[in-house]
Amino acid sequence: MISLTYLRSELGRRRGRTVLMVSGVAIGVALVLLSTALVSGLDRAQASVLTPLAGVGTDMLVTRTAATDNGQIPSSSDLQALQTEEQATSQAALIDLSHLGKPGTRFVHDFFLPPAELTFPDAQAAAIRALPGVVGVASALTLVANHRQGTVPEIVSEMSIPSQTVTIAPPTPAEDAQINACVGRLLPRPTVPAPGQSPPPPIVTGPPAGMAQCLPKRFRQLMIPGQVLREVIAPPQTDITTTTYAVTGLDLAVAGLGPITRAQVTEGSFLDPASSSGQAMVSGAFATRSKLHVGSRLTINGSVFAIVGLVTPPLGGHPADVYLSLPALQALAGRGGRVNALMVRADGAKDVDRVAREIRDAFRGAQVTTAADLARQVSGSLLDATTLADRLGVLIALVVLAAGFGVAGAMTLASVGERVRELGTLRAIGWRRGAVVRQVLAEALAQGLIGALAGVALGFAIVWLVSALAPPLHAVSLAGPSSPSPFGLGTVTVPAAGDRTVRLEAIVDAWPVVVAITLCVAGGLLSGAAGAVRSARLKPADALRELG
Amino acid sequence: MYRLRGVTRRFRQGPLNLAAVFDLDLDIDAGEFVVIQGRSGSGKTTLLQLLGGLDQQTSGTLAFEGRELRGLNDRQLTALRLHAFGFIFQQFNLIPTLNARDNVELALRPARLAGPERRERAMALLEQVSLSDRARHLPSQLSGGEQQRVAIARALANRPRVLLADEPTGNLDSRTAEEIGGLLRALWLEQRQTVVLVTHDRVIAALAPRVLVMHDGRFATDSCSGSRPEEVLTASGC
C-alpha cells in the first residue's frame, strides 16, 4: 500500500533535491553504461586486432630462432639453420652493389635480408602434420627486404702500375772470370786422348745445369724499393635510397590457413592457387605508401607481379606488406625449399597446449607461439584505453553512484526529519508502521529509478556520441617481422606492418543496463534505509508535536 | 466507552518526576460531547493522548470499550486509530502537497478501498463539511477554517467511534472557531458522533453539554455527568 499520489507530490515538493539526486544517479548510471560500453567496444576492437591467429584459422605459430634471451648457445639445429642462412645470403649477394652494374649506372634492387626467424626445410611441415591433434599445417616464408635504388657506387679501385725497364750493367772482367771459373767447374773434365787416337769432338750441350748459381746476385734478384699506393674510393652511400618492407610467401595448398587468408582481403581477391606465380597481394598501408592498387604491377628484381588484392594483415602474427606465393618468394630470395613459419591448427582449443608441447619435442629448436602469447605482445593506445576503461571507468562510475546515493540517503533522512509531524499524522490516522516505512522507501526508490532511467537515456546518448566521433586507437604489435641488421647493429623491425588503427565503437550490452538499474534500486533502498529506520521510530504522538 | 481509574502519567524531566495527569477517574459514554478545558500545562493534551492510545499512563487503568489500551501492541493500536479514533489537530496536519480530496483519501488508504470508491467516499466526506467545491485546492489555497474542515473530513473518513480533537480552534480567529465548534456540535447532535474536545477556549467549551476543567493534572470541575444529546435536549440546563 503505497500512495502514488503522495509519492509524486512529495517528490514534487522537494523538486530541487529530487532533480539533484536524480541527476547524480543518472550521471553515475550513464558513466557505468559508458565505461562498460567502452570496455566491450574495446574488447571487440581488441578481439578483431588481437585474434590474428583465430582470424586466419590458426591456433599456433611455429618458428625457429637463434636468438636466445638467456644467453644460451644456440642448439645444433639452430646452428645448422644458421649455416644454411649464410649460404643463402652469399648466394643472394647480400649487399655487394658491384654486382649490380658499372659504377655510375642506375640500379633498382631488392635485397632479402636474413630473417630473425631462421629458415628450415619445408619437410618439417609434413612432420608436424603427422602429429596427433594437428588438423592442418601451412608453411610460410617471411623475409624483410631492402628495396634499394640509386647509382652504383665506385667501390673497387683499379690500380694500374706503369711498365718499367730495368737496365742491368754487363759483367765486369772480375765477374767474368768468376763466372767462367764457376762454369768451368761445372763442365766435365776433358779427357786426355790416347796416342793415335784422334781427340773426341768437343761436345757442346749449352750451359751446364746449375749455371744460374754462377751468376752474381744482382743478376738473379731484381729489387724495386717499397712504395705505398693510395686511391680514394667513392663511398657506397651515394644517392642510394633504401626502403624496407616485409614479404611473405604463402603456402596456398591449405585453404583458410596461413599468415593471411581470404578473410583478410579488403579489396580485390586472394591469390589464385592455380596461377599464383605472377600474382601478389599487398597490405592496405603498403599500397597507400607505395601508391599501389588492385591491378597495378609490382616488380621485384625483374620479376613482375600483378597485384590482385589488398589485405589487412592480422596484428600479432607475422604481418607483412607484400604477399607472394611461397615458390615465387623462395626463388626470388634464393631460399628454395625453405620456410620460416608454420601455422598449425589443432583439433580443438583444449588440444593447443598439448600439441604445442608435442611440436617442441618433435622439432628441435622450434618456438611455438599460441594465440594467447601473441595477444600479450600487442601494445598501443588501444590497450591503454582498454586498461583505463577497465580499471578506472567502472570505478569512477561506481564512486559517482555511491556518492549519489550517499547524498540521496542524507536527503531522505533530512526529509523524514522535516516531516516528523506529517508522518506522525499518517500514523495517527491509522497508517501502519510498515506503510509509513514503505512510503519513505518508495520515495528513495522512485528517485533511484528515475535516476536510472534518465541515466540509461543519457548513457545511450553519450555512447551514441562516442560512436559517432569514433576516436581512432592504435595497436602496435611487437611481433612484427624483424631481421638482424645488415650491419650487425641490433635488429631492424618493420614498424608499419604491425601497426593497426581501429575505430572505437562503444557497444551497450543488455547486462550493464540491467546491472545499472539493479544498482539504482539497491542504492535507492539503501539510501532510503536511514530515513526508513527513522520513520519507523516515529510515534503517532509526533503528530501533536509543536513545530516552530 | 471510556473508563479511567486512578490514571496517572508522569514525565521525567531532569531530576524532577512531574505528573502531567494525576489520579484521574473518568467515564465517557458513547454519544457524549465532552470538552476538557484548561490552561496550557494543565495536562489536558496528555489526557487526550492517553485517550487516543498515543501515550500510555504510568499507573491506573484506562479502558476503551472494555479493553485496556496500555496492553495493546502497535498493530492493535493502529487498528484502533484507523477504525475507532478520529484525530483533529490544532495545526490541521494536512499534507501540504496534496489537495483536499487527496488528503482525505490518505486516511482511506489503510482501509484498502478501490480507487474510485475511495474517491467517491472522500468527496462525500468533503460534502459533509461543505467543501466539495474545494476538493482540488491545496491546503495553502484554503483558509484556516477550510483546512480544519478538511481535517475533520479526514478524521471522519473511517467512521470513528470517537472524535478526539486537540485545540481544533487554537489556530483560528474567533468567528471561524465558532464555526468549527458548531460543525463538531452538529456532528454530535445530528449523527450522535462521540466527541472529546480539548480546548482552552471558554466560548468553544460553552458549546458542549459536559465540560471538564483541568488544573494541575486533575479535574477541578465536571459540569455534568450525562451529556448525551437526548439528555441535553430533555434537560437543557445541564
Cβ <8 Å between B97 and A12: yes
Cα of A441 to nearest chain B Cα, Å: 17
Q: Please check whether residue B159 is in contact with residue B47, taking contact to mean a CB–CB distance below 8 angstroms.
A: no
Nearest to A425 among B53, B82, B93 (CB): B93
Closest CA to B2 of B55, B40, B48: B48
CA distance A377 to A316: 7
Tens digit of pLDDT per residue, chain B (238 long)?
Answer: 999 999 999 988 777 788 889 999 999 999 999 999 988 888 898 999 999 988 899 999 999 999 999 989 989 999 999 999 999 999 899 999 999 999 999 999 888 888 899 999 999 999 999 999 999 999 999 999 999 999 999 999 999 999 999 999 988 999 999 999 999 999 999 999 999 999 988 888 888 889 999 988 888 877 655 455 555 444 333 4
Which residues in chain A are closer than 8 Å to B87, comparing Cβ atoms?
425, 428-429, 543
Q: Does A4 touch chain B (CB under 8 A)?
A: no
Question: CA B13, CA A198: separation in Å to the nearest integer?
Answer: 182
At A265, which amino acid appears? V
Closest in B97, B107, B112 to A429, CB measured: B107
Which chain B residues have a beta carbon less than 8 Å from that of A1?
109-110, 112
C-beta separation of B41 from B237 below 8 A? no
Note whether B145 and B168 are same-domain residues.
Answer: no
- Whether B189 and B148 map to the same domain: the answer is no
- Chain A partners of B166 at a C-beta cutoff of 8 Å? 544
The answer to whether A544 contacts chain B (CB < 8 Å) is: yes
CB distance A474 to A380 below 8 Å: yes
Residue A387: all three cell numbers together: 586498461
Same domain as B189, residue B148: no
The cell numbers describing A466, all together, are 562516442
- A429 vs B106: CB contact, 8 Å cut-off? yes
**CB-based contact (8 Å) between A303 and chain B?**
no
CB contact under 8 Å between B102 and A9, yes or no, is yes
State how far residue B63 is from chain A, nearest Cα, in angstroms.
Answer: 19
In a mutational test of the A interface, the residue from B54, B104, B164 whose CB has the highest number of chain A CBs within 10 Å is B54
Please name the residue of chain B whose CA is at the shortest distance from the CA of residue A435.
Answer: B110
Residue type present at position A426: L
Report the residue of chain B nearest A427, measured CA to CA.
Answer: B78
Q: Which residue pairs, CB below 8 angstroms and at least 24 apart, start in A489-495?
A: A491/A116, A492/A113, A492/A144, A492/A244, A494/A144, A494/A244, A494/A245, A494/A246, A494/A321
Q: Select from B159, B186, B207 the last residue of a domain.
A: B159
Cα separation, A14 vs A19, in Å, equals 9
Summarised one tens digit per residue, pLDDT across range B95-135 is 999 999 999 999 998 888 888 999 999 999 999 999 999 99
Per the CB < 8 A criterion, the answer to whether A439 and A7 are in contact is yes
With CA atoms as reference, the chain A residue closest to B102 would be: A5
What pLDDT shows up at residue A497?
41
Question: Structural domain of residue B47, as residue ranges?
Answer: 1-84+162-238
Residues from chain A contacting residue B109 (CB–CB below 8 Å): 1, 3, 431, 435
Q: Which residue of A has its CA nearest to B50?
A: A541
Interface test with A, best of B109, B158, B162 (most A CBs within 10 A): B109
User: Are B91 and A1 an interchain contact pair (Cβ–Cβ within 8 Å)?
Assistant: no
Closest CB to A426 among B53, B86, B106: B106
Residue type, A139: S
Task: Check whether residue B171 and residue B154 sit in a common domain.
Answer: no
Taking the CA of residue B236 and the nearest CA in chain A, the distance in Å comes to: 34
- Based on the domain organization, do B172 and B234 belong to the same domain? yes
- Nearest-neighbour CA in chain A from B30: distance (Å): 20
Q: What is the interface size between A and B, counted as CB pairs within 8 Å?
A: 85
CB contact under 8 A, A431 and B110: yes
Q: Give the residues across from B195 on adjacent strands.
A: B33, B163
Return the residue in A4, A425, A542 with the most chain B beta carbons within 10 A, the one to mutate for interface testing.
A425
Under an 8 A CB cutoff, do B109 and A540 touch? no
Do B235 and B170 lie in a common domain?
Answer: yes
The count of domains in chain B is 2
- Sort out which chain B residues have CB atoms less than 8 A from A543's CB and list them: 54, 87, 89, 93
> Do residues B197 and B204 make contact, with C-beta atoms less than 8 angstroms apart?
yes
Residue A178 neighbours by CB under 8 Å, 6+ apart? A214, A216
Written as nine digits, the cell of A547 is 513545530
B23 within 8 A of B5, measured Cβ to Cβ? no
- B107 and B203 in a single domain? The answer is no
Taking CB atoms and an 8 Å limit, are A547 and B91 in contact across chains?
Answer: yes
**A99 at interface of B, judged by CB pairs closer than 8 A:** no
* Res B233: pLDDT: 45
Q: Are residues B139 and B109 in the same domain?
A: yes
Q: Is A57 left (phi over 0), alpha (psi -120 to 50) or beta?
A: left
Query: Chain A residue with minimal CA distance to B168?
Result: A544
Strand partners, A379: A476
Whole-prediction pTM value? 0.58
Whether residue B154 is found in the same domain as residue B166:
no
Residue of chain B with shortest Cα separation from A12: B97
In whole angstroms, give the CA distance from residue B181 to residue B169.
8
- What CATH number corresponds to the domain at position B4? 3.40.50.300
| A15-50 helix and A394-418 helix, angle to the nearest 10 degrees | 170
Give the residue ranges of chain A where pLDDT is below 70.
Answer: 1, 45-58, 65-99, 114, 116, 153-164, 188-209, 221-238, 314-318, 349, 371-394, 470-506, 545-548
- Grid cell 598501443 is found at A380
Same-domain pairing of B3 and B63: yes
Q: Are B33 and B72 members of one domain?
A: yes
Final residue belonging to a domain, choices B135, B159, B183: B159
Q: What is the spatial distance between Cα A311 and Cα A324, in angstroms, rounded to a whole number?
A: 12
The predicted pLDDT at position A447 comes to 84
Residue listed under C-alpha cell 467545491: B133
Domain boundary among B159, B187, B203: B159
Contact in structure between A97 and A107 (CB atoms under 8 Å) = yes
| Pair (B180, B73) in one structural domain | yes
Kindly list the residues from chain A whose CB atom is less than 8 angstroms away from the CB atom of residue B79. 430
ipTM, two decimals, is 0.89
Contacts B110 to A, Cβ<8 Å: 1, 430-432, 435
Cell numbers found for residue B119: 474517491
